[in-house]
Amino acid sequence: MSEENKTLNFIEEIIENDLNAGKYDSVLTRFPPEPNGYLHIGHAKSICLNFGLALKYGGKTNLRFDDTNPVKEDVEYVDSIKEDIKWLGFEWVAEYYASDYFEQLYIWAQDLIRKGLAYVDDRNQEEIRTSRGTVTQPGVNSPYRDRSVDENLDLFARMRAGEFNDGEKVLRAKIDMAHPNMMMRDPIMYRIIHANHHRTGDKWCIYPMYDYAHGQSDSCEHITHSICTLEFDIHRPLYDWFIEKLEIFPSHQYEFARLNLTYTVMSKRKLLELVKNGIVSGWDDPRMPTICGLRRRGYTSESIRNFAEKVGVAKRQNTIELSLLENCVREDLNRRAERRFAVLDPLKIVIVNYPESKTEVMNAINNPENPDAGTREITFGRELYIEKSDFMEVPPKKYFRLSPGAEVRLKYAYIIKCEEVVKNGKGEITELRCTYDPETKSGSNSSKQVKGTVHWVNAREALPVEVRLYDRLFTESHMDDIPEDKSYTDYLNPESLTVVTAFAETSLKDVKESVQFERTGYFYPDYDSTPDKLIFNRTVTLKDSWTKQNKQ
């Protein structure tokens, strides 16, 4: 293996081998979502993989909606899926629907009947299931298995024509009821569903099963590498069987491990339940692992693409740490986000030796990681807010922030000293009376040094801002391994959302992008925000507090 090859993932190796062997002229992949829900971070992984491979090898990617189940599907989902893929930064060359192929699939099913490789079965799904046998026992042939070709063609046509009720008949492939792979024991190809389809309306009342639609759709489009998740590996012999018997374009299926994340549920059924039961505010609730939820929370598409790259392509099931995703967005926003001052949990400070009516304008650096971002002005005055957590009445050793008699630097301003703690009747601290040292203005030549620096906001001008502090939706790291008598809803984190009113510097009014509230985290303006009421979502804290907590 060459040095370069070592860094290829196994699918890249397959593609390079295929291209070198001249098996295909160019690579064509597809992303095949079922339009029955919104895309989540697992889909993002699959999108990055399919589109990324094509881009890497000068190929193309189709978007194909796997719309073979009319009951659960909706145009709302189709639209959101397209929006999310575009937002992630990818372009498909063609948009298809499995339903585009219904006529072709029907003709091919007739071909299989003519070849003696498919038959109409009158038994219901339950009877079919119980006669399939087990892994250790062969199945039993259906009494309808040896119908003549003509009878099968006639019955299949009448199934299509709507002569039968739901479940009355199915079309099955005729393979081998004793096959060691249960998938090959005469799998169902078509079932009868009298339902309106979001694209084909009432034209069809028979619908192909996944196994009879997916590979054939791949073949119709001349997909070279059909990539799906691991649980489909047992379907692969069937995928190949249909293609071989129909003698159509030989697409091939490859499987990789689906993405699982700690503290997260990913199944669309569960996500739909969270939405329907009002546990979250919608598919785009910033706590959801959906792409629209992550976007609303302030994740950038770059950070998600970078995450997908870091996760890599595994052949075995694994669960990725949510903190890896969080680190990706931290890294990206550190470069990108401007800094602002906002105090989330305010404590009033009065600087008693600072003139009552004076204000000063201080220069603050917008982004130390990006000199082009320039500076902004913030005003300083006699009354300020600092974070409650930046003061301790009885500090432990090595506490370098404010405490009675101690000094701290107010960033971009002066060093102050806490002279007096003012309390109300209940003994709660209401305000700190401090003095400032006029010689210590930031940028001056003062030699005075203190260890702690804190952020602050001018109380007289501070903007009240609603801040939504999001945390993990679940308390359990491995949500796939919870005990059987428990439900995932037993593990909801009661503190996944805390809403506070913060005070921010006035320039926050104009912020339309991700921003770092200094020393606190990255925040993103919510679409509920108005000029009169600013609302910011916390994307992520500056440091990973969970890892710390878990280590304690």
In the complex, which residues of this chain contact ligand ATP (CB under 6 A)?
Answer: 32-34, 42-43, 45-46, 66, 228-229, 258-259, 266-268
Amino acid at 224: T
Residue 387: Cβ-neighbour burial (10 angstroms; 0-12, 13-18, 19+): buried
DSSP symbols for 184-214:
GSS-EEEEE----BTTTBTS-SEEE-HHHHH
- In angstroms, what is the minimal distance from the CB of 377 to ligand ATP? 47
What is the Cα 188 distance to its own chain's centre? 33
List the single partner that 42 binds among Mg ion, ligand ATP, none, CB under 5 to 8 Å by kind: ligand ATP
Amino acid at 287: R
Residue 459: Cβ-neighbour burial (10 angstroms; 0-12, 13-18, 19+): middle
H, E, C per residue of 308-345:
HHHHCCCCCCEEECHHHHHHHHHHHHHHHCEEECEECC
Candidates 29-37, 164-172, 179-187, 414-422: pick the segment binding Mg ion (CB under 5 A).
29-37
List the single partner that 228 binds among ligand ATP, Mg ion, none, CB under 5 to 8 Å by kind: ligand ATP
Q: If we measure between CA atoms, which residue out of 150, 141, 193 comes closest to residue 172? A: 141
Residue 130: Cβ-neighbour burial (10 angstroms; 0-12, 13-18, 19+): exposed
For ligand ATP, which is the closer residue by CB, 9 or 529?
Answer: 9
Hey, which residues are catalytic here?
34, 258, 268
For ligand ATP, which is the closer residue by CB, 316 or 426?
Answer: 316
Q: Which residue's entry shows tokens 């070709």?
A: 149
List the single partner that 45 binds among Mg ion, ligand ATP, none, CB under 5 to 8 Å by kind: ligand ATP
Report, in this order, helix, strand and coil percent for the chain, each rounded to 5: 35, 25, 40
Q: What's the CA gap between 434 and 446, in Å, rounded?
A: 19
| Residue 171, H or E segment | strand 170-173
Residue 51: Cβ-neighbour burial (10 angstroms; 0-12, 13-18, 19+): buried
List the single partner that 43 binds among ligand ATP, Mg ion, none, CB under 5 to 8 Å by kind: ligand ATP
- In angstroms, what is the minimal distance from the CB of 268 to Mg ion? 8
List the single partner that 100 binds among ligand ATP, Mg ion, none, CB under 5 to 8 Å by kind: none
By beta-carbon distance, which residue lies closest to ligand ATP?
42
For Mg ion, which is the closer residue by CB, 12 or 34?
Answer: 34
For ligand ATP, which is the closer residue by CB, 289 or 521?
Answer: 289
Facing residues of 342 across strands? 504
Q: What's the CA gap between 141 and 256, in Å, rounded?
A: 34
- In angstroms, what is the minimal distance from the CB of 210 to Mg ion? 7
List the single partner that 46 binds among ligand ATP, Mg ion, none, CB under 5 to 8 Å by kind: ligand ATP
For Mg ion, which is the closer residue by CB, 80 or 152?
Answer: 80
Q: Name residues whose C-beta falls within 8 Å of residue 253's C-beta, 6 or more positions apart in sequence.
A: 215, 218, 226, 227, 228, 232, 235, 236, 239, 240
- In angstroms, what is the minimal distance from the CB of 268 to ligand ATP? 3
Candidates 26-34, 117-125, 331-339, 507-515: pick the segment binding Mg ion (CB under 5 A).
26-34
Q: If we measure between CA atoms, which residue out of 44, 50, 64 comes closest to residue 320? A: 44
List the single partner that 215 binds among ligand ATP, Mg ion, none, CB under 5 to 8 Å by kind: none
Candidates 28-36, 132-140, 245-253, 309-317: pick the segment binding Mg ion (CB under 5 A).
28-36
**Binders of Mg ion among 125-184, rule CB under 5 A?**
none
- In angstroms, what is the minimal distance from the CB of 22 to ligand ATP? 27
- Site map 34..73 versus Mg ion, x via CB under 5 A: x---------------------------------------
- In angstroms, what is the minimal distance from the CB of 72 to Mg ion? 11
DSSP character at residue 479:
G
Contact 290, 38 (CB under 8 A): yes
List the single partner that 306 binds among ligand ATP, Mg ion, none, CB under 5 to 8 Å by kind: none
- In angstroms, what is the minimal distance from the CB of 73 to ligand ATP? 10
For ligand ATP, which is the closer residue by CB, 45 or 185?
Answer: 45
For ligand ATP, which is the closer residue by CB, 84 or 326?
Answer: 84
DSSP symbols for 339-396:
EE-EESSEEEEEETTS-TT--EEEEEES-TT-GGG-EEEEEE-SEEEEEGGGB-SSPP
For Mg ion, which is the closer residue by CB, 256 or 391?
Answer: 256
- In angstroms, what is the minimal distance from the CB of 56 to ligand ATP? 18
Judged by CB under 5 A, how many residues of this single chain contact Mg ion? Answer: 1
Residues of this chain that bind Mg ion (CB under 5 A): 34
